[in-house]
Structure 1
Amino acid sequence: KTFDGIVAGAVRVERLTKNEKNGITNKFAYVKGIVVRQNDNAVDPALQINKIKVGQYHYLPGVIVTMANPTNINISKLKIDAKAVNDKTGETLNTKTVASGSVAPNSEFNYVIRYSKTIPAGKYHFIGTATDQKGHHWEWREPFTVKKAEKVANQPIRVRGSFEWWWLLIAILLLIILALIWWIILMKRKKDHDDEE
């Protein structure tokens, strides 16, 4: 099947080795990028919004915009300026700018506008513009609804330190050995004392 544009992919190369059950096996591999092209016909990229939802993103509320490039060409030096605006109050929830992004052919990504407070329920618009290095231009004014207020997640951050159990085991063994030596010395003194009597 013929196509215009490019198909990007890669080949992973690694040496086949037996996996050892006990111990560590190092595997070395590399990935070689491949771009397949059938002709030099120009292809205009597209940047479209597939869906918009509001949810938690790294413990903060955010407007998660799923964008896609459904064409067989990459987008380079992408600049996006976007904001989320409350329809009722006209206030901007938050803004986000990407200065130099890249989008692979036939790919999808999340563009997230985070917010440090609770996002109130209501109707909103995602408003944005984007340009790339070849002068392509995109504009969006997409409505979305927040059905219930999205609050900041009160998730405690747990930091687990690494604990070396073998140090504890060595310490216990040393205490047992010291206790045995002390007991042997006491028994010997008692025996010597009994012999003297």
Structure 2
Amino acid sequence: MKNKKIILVSLVSLSVLINATHTVHADSANFSVTPKIGENQVGQNLGYFNLLLKPKQTQNVEFTLNNNSNQTIKVKTTFGTAFTSQSGNVGYTPDLVEPDPSLKINLKDYVKLPQTLTIKPKSTTTVTARVTMPDENIKGVIAGGFNFEDASTSESTQKSSGVSITNRYRYVIGLVLQNDTVKVDPTLNLGKVGPDQVNGRNVITANLTNSAPAYLMQMNTDAVVTKYNDSSIKYTYNNVAMEMAPNSNFNLAIPVSIPGALNGKTSEPLKPGKYHLKMTVYGGKDDKGKYQTMVNDQVTKYDYKWVFDKDFVITGAKASSLNAKDATINHKPKIDWLLIVGFAAIILLLLIIIFLLFKRRKKDEEENEESVENKKD
């Protein structure tokens, strides 16, 4: 059993104006990475690269890697294009998801860096990556992230359970390229909606696509799924802290089954039929935004708002297939008391008929015996 710990440093999310970043530090990591920010940086003290370059312009970007341990370590370096994970967060792991069709320029094709580095104990080295701006002028931003992963294996064995655990640490430092600082608005669209499963639990997935070369930050998403002709069925989802990468898509999962601990409860099976999804999405918190809603009992304003309505159908075959694989559903057959009562009534009726026939037969035998006695007399 292996447990990979991912350490994200200096980058998790970026806004279209590059004014948001999350930082996570790990005390137990064997090494650290620090970017050397140049003069053509848009914004300061960001912890990642946001470069203003002309078409075809090339620039070297540098990182300082420090080996904190007493052993020689190997560091694997890769680059990943920005994408949106299934949890609604921006990610930069290389080749983890297929690029969205709206992504015309894949930044990983314009970045070159060494694949593996060897760093001696308690020493520092400099890594240089070569970044080239595409030939054509671009609107908005193209984005990705440099990944630095500890390729050395550090295993600790738990003798009691015989489990070997390997810890690997990864630093991710973002790269955003743009030709100018003209703001481009994100564009959100709703695609396919239908039943699916996540972690062995039934969900309704709604595909969301941001087809613009711009980050969509501070997404506040509210979704409601209802079933036609059955007001008792209603599935809801709300998340006020989502984000999307430029030119990316992901499947928003609306829970049908119990998502967390069951605590003795069971989920209701997914039922076939016609359903309706209503979804409202706000984006880009702004005190001067023209759209507002309540968040944690406070009025919150946003720059963007989208409202989606869509019907979809869940077939009987699909519902049965998903229900059979959902471990949170009680698969024990339910007792059909009506059927049992029906069988009991039939059995009782048969017993009454048999009793009447037996009684009638006995009466006929007694009458025959009396008739024979009378003839003898």
**Alignment TM-score, normalising by the size of structure 1:** 0.66
Closer, same or farther: CA 118–54 of 1 in aligned 2, 3 Å: same
Structure 1 residues 69-108: aligned runs within 5 Å: 69-108=210-249
Deviations 1:149-172 (A, max 9, x none): 34263549xxxxxxxxxxxxxxxx
Within 2, Cα distance between the matches of 1:79 and 1:16?
38
Closer, same or farther: CA 11–56 of 1 in aligned 2, 3 Å: closer
3-state SS of paired residue (1:151): helix
Q: Do 2:216 and 2:244's aligned partners in 1 also have CA atoms closer than 8 Å?
A: yes
1:118 aligns with 2:266: no
Within 2, Cα distance between the matches of 1:147 and 1:27?
44
Q: Do 2:201 and 2:327's aligned partners in 1 also have CA atoms closer than 8 Å?
A: no
Match of residue 135 from structure 1: 303
Report how far residue 30 of structure 1 moved.
3.9
Within 1, Cα distance between the matches of 2:169 and 2:198?
34
Q: What is the letter of the counterpart of residue 153 of structure 1?
A: K
**Alignment root-mean-square deviation, CA:** 2.7
Closer, same or farther: CA 111–29 of 1 in aligned 2, 3 Å: closer
Match of residue 3 from structure 1: 138
Q: Do 1:83 and 1:92's aligned partners in 2 also have CA atoms closer than 8 Å?
A: no
Match of residue 55 from structure 1: 196
Q: Do 1:118 and 1:152's aligned partners in 2 also have CA atoms closer than 8 Å?
A: no
1:147 aligns with 2:147: no
Within 1, Cα distance between the matches of 2:315 and 2:190?
20
3-state SS of paired residue (1:11): strand
Q: What is the aligned residue count?
A: 149
Report how far residue 44 of structure 1 moved.
1.4
Q: Do 1:61 and 1:151's aligned partners in 2 also have CA atoms closer than 8 Å?
A: yes
Q: Do 2:219 and 2:242's aligned partners in 1 also have CA atoms closer than 8 Å?
A: yes
3-state SS of paired residue (2:214): coil
Q: Do 2:201 and 2:326's aligned partners in 1 also have CA atoms closer than 8 Å?
A: no
Closer, same or farther: CA 93–36 of 1 in aligned 2, 3 Å: same
Q: What is the letter of the counterpart of residue 54 of structure 1?
A: P
Report how far residue 92 of structure 1 moved.
4.6
Closer, same or farther: CA 107–123 of 1 in aligned 2, 3 Å: same
Unaligned runs of 5+ in 2: 1-135, 153-166, 258-267, 286-301, 329-377
What percentage of residue pairs aligned between the two structures are identical?
Answer: 24
Q: Do 1:82 and 1:95's aligned partners in 2 also have CA atoms closer than 8 Å?
A: yes
1:43 aligns with 2:184: yes
Within 2, Cα distance between the matches of 1:35 and 1:88?
49
Within 2, Cα distance between the matches of 1:152 and 1:48?
32
**Alignment TM-score, normalising by the size of structure 2:** 0.36
Q: What is the letter of the counterpart of residue 95 of structure 1?
A: T
Within 2, Cα distance between the matches of 1:15 and 1:58?
28
Unaligned runs of 5+ in 1: 18-25, 157-197
Report how far residue 14 of structure 1 moved.
6.8
